[in-house]
Amino acid sequence: MNPSYNQSIENYDYYYYDIKTKLNKQNIIQITSRIMILDEFFKLNLINLKFYNDNKFKCIKKDKKDNLKDFYYSYLCSSFILTIFVYLLPDDKHTFLKYIYISYLFIVYLLTYMFYRLLV
C-alpha cells in the first residue's frame, strides 16, 4: 500500500537520518547523495511516486551544488598551500621550475575562480 503525500512527508522527515546512516555504512567508498536517499525511500515504499517526482530534481540540484562546493573548497585549500610553496623555492636556483610552478598555480587559481562563479 502506497502512503499518502502527507504520510510521505512525515516518513521522509522521520526516517531521513536513519536511512542516511544505513547508506553511509553500505557505501564505504561512495558519497551518500540526497538522490540516493530518496531512491532508498522509494524502494522501501515509504514515499509515494508524486512525492518522489516532486523532490527528485531538488535533490539532484542540491547534490550538484554540494559537489561544486566541495571542489571549490579543495581548490581553495590547494591554492593557498601551493602559494606558500612558491615562496619556499630559492630565487637563484631552479628558475625554470619556478616559472612552471607559477603557471601551474595560475591555472589552479583560475579553476578556483571558475568554481566560485558557478556557486554564486
Q: Which long-range contacts (CB under 8 A, 24 or more apart) does 89-97 make?
A: none
| Sequential pLDDT tens for the chain (120 residues) | 788 999 999 999 999 999 999 999 988 778 889 999 999 999 999 999 999 999 999 999 999 999 999 999 999 998 899 888 877 777 777 778 888 888 999 999 999 999 999 888
Q: How many CA atoms lie within 13 A of 33 on its CB side?
A: 16
Determine if residue 54 is left, alpha or beta; phi over 0 gives left, psi from -120 to 50 gives alpha, anything else beta: alpha
* Per-residue CA distances from 48 to 32, 33, 105 (Å): 21, 20, 50
Residue 92 grid cell: 637563484
Burial class (CB in 10 A: 0-12, 13-18, 19+), 8: buried
Range of the domain at 14: 5-119
| Domains: count for the chain | 1
pTM of the predicted model as reported, rounded to 2 decimal places: 0.78
